Structure formats: C-alpha cells, structure tokens
Amino acid sequence: MALRSRRRPRSLTELGLPEPDSTGRVVAVRRTGREMGAPGLIDKGQLGKGSTGNGPSPIAHSSAAPIRILGLDPGSLRTGYAVIDVSSGRISYVVSGTIRTEGKALPERLQEIFTAVAAVTAEFRPHEVAVEGVFMHRNADSALKLGQARGAALSATFATGPRVFEYAPRAVKQAVVGTGAAQKDQVQLMVKRLLNLAEPLAADAADALAIALCHAHSRRLHALMAVAGSRP
C-alpha cells in the first residue's frame, strides 16, 4: 500500500507549529517483521491500518493541521525508525522498522545509516523529527560511535527541513510507560497498546515509536511554553 503524497507546508504558521520555547531548547514503513541482513536495508513489514483492526489510537493532542513525526533510535549497528501521524487529536501509526548495518568499518556503517534514513525521509516526508538526546556513557568508545551514528541519522533528514526535538531517555519512558525506570519489554508492550498494534515489534522499532509518541504528547507543552515566553 502506497501512502498518498502530501504537499510540503510553506510555513510554520501553516503547520500550526510554535516557535522554539523561551529556553531555546529543541529538547533542537508501518513496518515490522523480519529483520533483513543486507547492509543498509530497511526492515519492511506492516503498512497502513490493516493489522490493527482498530484504526488510529485516540491519544490526546492539540493541533488542527496534520503533522507527521519521524522517531529515530540511532545505533552504529541497528537504527530504529518510526513514523506516526498526528491529526485532530488522534495519533495514527504509519510505519516502523530497523535499519541494520553490516559494514566492517565505522565510516561504512555511517554511510549505510545516512542512506537508509534519507530514503525513509524522502518517502514519508516528516514535518518533525524526534530523537533521544545525548547522554553520558560509561564506555567512551561506545559513546563516540553512538554520537556519530546519531549525527548521520539526523543529517539524513535535513533535506526536507523538519524541526528536530530531543528527549532524554527517562523522559521517553516516563511519557510512554509512566516511569523513567521502565524496562525495554515494558516500553514495547505500552507502545503496542497505545497504537493498537497486533504484530510483534522489534526492540529498536519500539524504541523509535516511543520517542515519536513522547514528542506527540509533548507538542502541546511546547506550544504553551512558546505562548508563555512571548508574553510581556
């Protein structure tokens, strides 16, 4: 099933988007199933509403204009991605999956991440991108690789000009599960419940969906903060 193409908005006003909040913080397909082993290939599975049987999830949201959000969970070996639509107070699952890299050298893997995320962005054209913020890591080498993977994934989205928002891992878990100490299996379970998904979700795809859902819930707060910051 192919998604209907959508005209690119010409302005933030047309999208109903707020300007960055007063702190300056920008805190800046439906696809599951088997994981594919070829370098840089995207895990493709579900698409559309067929597998849920229940349509969009009635999650509270304040926005008149439809907004498409891309959630990213970058990693040098596996990068989760997810796309959801937010429209008239409802959130609809579009696509999710895992980008697996097999390059032996880090530069090769970064190129695979960039190419695959660019393909997802070009196909689904998100208005906003949500990603986990940088956090301290016990292993300096792992932190460096993660940071570079994150940079490659984000850079691949810039061609369509989306706004980028960052969220701490605990904030994502808090928004989706209700506790910042939630385990991965709890995140997967709640994501499936919130979006009425029947089929299994890979861990990386579930994390990307959780990040996208966290941003969907936070958009109203961003708008209120922007309004408060503009008042004299």
Q: Which residues are catalytic?
A: 73, 132, 204
Helix residue spans in the chain (DSSP H): 12-15, 106-124, 140-155, 169-176, 184-195, 203-230
Residue 125: left if φ>0, alpha if ψ -120 to 50, beta else—which one?
A: left
Residue with tokens 């878990």: 173
For residue 164, the Cα-to-chain-centroid distance in whole angstroms is 10
Q: Provide the 10 A C-beta neighbour count for residue 8.
A: 10
Instruction: Provide the token pair at 98.
Output: 């895992």
Residue type, 154: L
